[in-house]
Structure 1
Amino acid sequence: MSKLDQAKRCYARLMAAESKSDDPRLERVFERVPREAFLPAGPWKIMVDYRYFETPTDDPVYVYQNALIALDAAKGINNGEPYLHAAWIGAVAPRSGERICHIGAGTGYYTAILAMLAAPGGSVEAFEIDHALAAAARRNLAPYEGVTVTRGDGTSIELPAADLIYVNAAVLAPPRSWLQALRPNGRLIFPWQPSNSVGLAILITRTEKGLDAKPLMAVWFIPCVGGASTQDALVKAPGWPAAWSVRSLWLTSERIPDETSVATYEHVWFSSSSP
C-alpha cells in the first residue's frame, strides 16, 4: 500500500469515528472521494490559528488531515474542516434514495460525499453563489451520478422537496423556503449565527408534531450571501445560554411567538419548548 493510500485509509477511519455513526459506508466514502481533486493545484494553504501555512510540496498526502484548506485564500474561503463535516453527516444520516440539497457547495467535496451516501437512487442538488466555485464544482462533480450544480443564491431560490438540506454558510435564520421544502422526517442542518457572538450548528427535523430543533456544536462559518444573512427581520436575538436551549422552530404564520421564544424573526421563531 502506498503512503497516500495509507493516509487515506487512516483519514477515513478517523472521519468514521468522528461521525459517531454505525453506518459502515461512511469510512468507505471518505476513503474513496479524493479530497485533492476538489482543491486548487498544490502546494496547498492550510489554515492554523487564522493563518495560512503552505505545504512543502503538492504531494496529496498532506490534505488527508483534519484541516481547513484554502479554496480562495484572498476571500477566506476554505474546504471545510473534515471532523466537523463528519460529525454533521453522522447527525443527519443520509440514506440511499434520498433527495439532498447542498447550499454553499464550494468546489463540491462534501457534495460528492453526500452523493455517494444518497446512492443508489438518490440525488444531490448543489447551490453555490460564487461563479468560480460553482464552475469548479460542475467540473469536479461530473463523474458523480445524480448531482446537479446551480449557480445562485440558495436563500432565495425555491428548493425542491428534500429529505435533507445541508447548509455550509451562516444565517441569522433559515428562510421559509428551506422549511417548506422539508419532506416528512426531512432534516435541515445549518450554521445559525443570530449575532456576532453566537454561532451554533442546528439540526431541524420535520416530525408529525412540528419542527424539532437540536443544537449540536459551536461553529463559525462565513455568512450566507442573500436575504437570510441580513438583520432586516430580526425581532429578538438570543445570547449563548438561550441559544443552547432551543428545542423547536416555528413559522410565525402557523404559530404566534409566545413566552418560550428564544429568538424571533419576521417569518420564523425558535422556542425552548419541544414541538
Structure 2
Amino acid sequence: MMDLPKTLEKKLKAVISFLEGKKVIVGFSGGVDSSLLAFLSKMHAKKALLITEKSILYPDEEIEGTIQFAKRFNIRHKIIERNPLENKDFQKNPSNRCYLCKTDLYNDILEIMNSENYDIILDGSNADDLSDYRPGMQALKELNISTPYIDYDIHKNDIRAICKFFNLDVQSKPSMACFSSRIPYGQIINEEKLAMIREAEKFLRDRFNLKQLRVRLHEETLARIEFLPEDFTKIFTLENIELIKRKLKEFGFSYITVDIEGFRSGSMNEVLDLGNH
C-alpha cells in the first residue's frame, strides 16, 4: 500500500482528531466524499449515523449503493424520503436553488440529531467546492453543519487518495449531481422533466457503458448531451446516432444535440454573473 504524502497525512490526522469522542451524523450520498467521511466516522467517532435522502432528484441505483456501503462497514444507516418539489420556490429553479434544497434537507436531519442526541452533522463538501458557485454552502453555514474537508483544506484528489489508501473501492467513482442541475436556472423543475433526464441518462450510461455524462434539458424538449471527449469515437457511429435519436424522442425530447465541449461539472453556471451572487 502506498503511503500518503506527509502534508495529507497531517490533514487526515486532524480530521480524525476532530471526530474523536463525538456522536456524528453524516449526510451520506454514497459519493466519494461522503463515503470517506462515513468510514472515518465509523472508525473514530464515538457514534455514527448515516442519513441518505431518497428523492426524484437522484437515481435509484445510488440509494442501493449507500445501503451496500453501510452494510459493508456495519454503520447505522437511515434513509429519509423527501420530495423537494413540495417547495414551490425550488420548483421555480432560481439560481440559489441548491440553497433552498440544502436548507430543507438539513433541517430534517437537524430534527433527527436533536431527537437522538447526536452532537454534530457532517457534510462532505470539499475545498474544491469553494471555487465554483455553490449556494448550498450558505445553508451549511447558517445551520452550523460541519465541513471537515473545507476546514482542513482537503481537496477532491486528496479524498480519492485517502480512499485508495484505505481500500474503500470508491476512489474512482465519478462525481454526481442531482437531476435538477440539468435544467437551466429560471426554467421550471417538474416531475416530467426529471423523468426525461433520468431515463435518458440511464439509457446512455447502460447502453454505452459510460462512467460520466450529463443530459441537460433546455426549453422543455431540447437535450444537450455532455459526453466525456474520450467517449466520442465510441459513441458516434451512424447506427448509434440513430439509436440515441430514437430513444430520446421516446423519452419526450424533440431535439437532440451533443455539446462538443464535452462533459464539465457546473456548466449551467457558465451563464451566471457571479459578481452579483
Same fold (TM over 0.5): no
Q: Which has the higher helix share?
A: 2
Larger radius of gyration: 2
Which category of TM-score, normalised to the shorter sequence, fits these structures? Answer: 0.3 to 0.5
Q: Which has the higher strand share?
A: 1
